[in-house]
Amino acid sequence: MNQPFSGFSKLSKEDKINWIADAYFSTPNEAISLLKKYWNSDAKIQKLHDEFIENTITNFYIPLGVAPNFLINGKYNTIPMAIEESSVVAAASKAAKFWSTRGGFKTKVINTEKIGQVHFLYKGDESKLDLFFIQTKAKFFTDTDSITTNMQKRGGGILDIELRDKTNLIDNYYQLHVTFETKDSMGANFINSCLEQFAKTLKEEAQNFDLFSETEKEIEVIMSILSNYVPNCLVRAEVSCPIEDLEEKHIPNPKEFAERFVQAVQIAEVEPYRAVTHNKGIMNGIDAVVIATGNDFRAVEAGVHAYAAHKGQYSSLSHAKIENGIFSFWLEIPLALGTVGGLTSLHPLVKLSLEMLENPSAEELMQFVAVAGLAQNFGALRSLTTSGIQEGHMKMHLNNILNQFEANEEESHEVRKYFKHHVVSHSAVVNYIESLRK
């Protein structure tokens, strides 16, 4: 394919697939067959999936699993997790069961404030702009009444609007920095609609402000957009128990385990190279629930990782301590989530996942997601500070290797039997499969 293709988006799905198969594959019929194999047999559901995005050619499946036995604030829950990585669901489930007999998880929503900004350039006297903003602030609210009415009925709306001077960063650069409450909606469309009206009001009112010179009246709006950095949309999840209660089969010395665990977390707090991988483990749990419930995991990832660096250096999202003989492990994390709108009312499996969670509010979903992240982190750190991460992970990865080499039932049985007592590595499994076939 050495030439651009004009009008691709106007082709039917069949024609798109045929063109791609002919342009890029040595065996076009095999490519077409594979793509169609992943279509949903229910035409109505397939049409729904086709319309989620543009230029759809097939469905890309990710497994949906569940992690049971999560005792959260005294109530048992089963958490849905959509993820393709081996051992994540198993680790979360194991951590959930471990803490279910030690008091369970405690959660608390600290705040639910979301952010949007109007970015603009103003060339003039800052004191005049300050006065203009003070006199115009009320109109920003009244001009968005038609947008905010329904949200206000649900207890949400615009919380505050600030004028921020950013001229120390870029010449003539200012912001309208706006905080919102969007209740059970993630609120992206609501926030952006408000911001675009603010931008319109800003420019129109500037034209009528008598103290501005002609140059000062020409405020240039660069963009109006919500922020995925939500440091004041915070939820806390934690577990704790007396050190001696940590004892189990794999933790024969709970005091030593607790001390090593705390040290492992402290390393992630001060060493960015470790913190990135540490936090990735947390996001394994968080993203899986965010995806299963139809939320935007890219937005969550961006906001969470920005928060991990909010003190000036990238650091651990979770923390641990031993105090008066009590082991405590917790995280505070920003999560802007929704349970209404978007895919939550369209995707059948999203609706199923939310029903499994008993149709939570956005605040309740924040707590489920935070707990999944903390559980996943606990599971990873427990492995790292005891047997090592690879032993459990590679045994879970064994299925992928067997599928990759199309092992039959007898070969799979022999491989699993052998590697119960031997170290699992990709090369070792491949060599053993080849020895069986010889």
Domain spans, the chain: 8-50, 69-108+234-387, 114-227, 392-437
Q: Considering the domain 114-227, what is its CATH architecture?
A: 2-Layer Sandwich (3.30)
Q: Quick check: is 422 catalytic?
A: no
Q: Quick check: is 200 catalytic?
A: no
User: 150-165 b/e with 16+ CB inside 10 Å = b?
Assistant: ebeeeebbbeebebee
pLDDT at 391: 56
Annotated active-site residue in 119, 217, 347, 393: 393
Q: Enumerate the β-bridge partners of residue 326.
A: 242, 323
Two tokens, residue 13: 């799905």
pLDDT at 397: 65
Annotated active-site residue in 143, 205, 238, 296: 296
pLDDT at 393: 53
Q: Quick check: is 216 catalytic?
A: no
Per residue of the chain (438 residues), give pLDDT as tens.
567 888 999 999 999 999 999 999 999 999 999 999 999 999 999 999 999 999 999 999 999 999 999 999 999 999 999 999 989 999 999 999 999 999 999 999 999 999 999 999 999 999 999 999 999 999 999 999 999 999 999 999 999 999 999 999 999 999 999 999 999 999 999 999 999 999 999 999 999 999 999 999 999 999 999 999 999 999 999 999 999 999 998 899 999 999 999 999 999 999 999 999 999 999 999 999 999 999 999 999 999 999 999 999 999 999 999 999 999 999 999 999 999 988 888 999 999 999 999 999 999 999 999 999 999 999 999 999 986 555 555 666 677 788 888 888 888 888 888 887 777 777 888 888 888 888
Annotated active-site residue in 280, 305, 319, 395: 280
Q: Enumerate the β-bridge partners of residue 108.
A: 236
Annotated active-site residue in 49, 50, 85, 271: 85
User: 246-264 b/e with 16+ CB inside 10 Å = b?
Assistant: beeeebeebeebbebbbeb
Q: Domain 69-108+234-387 - what CATH class?
A: alpha beta
pLDDT at 390: 52
Are 333 and 362 in contact by the 8 Å Cβ rule? The answer is: no
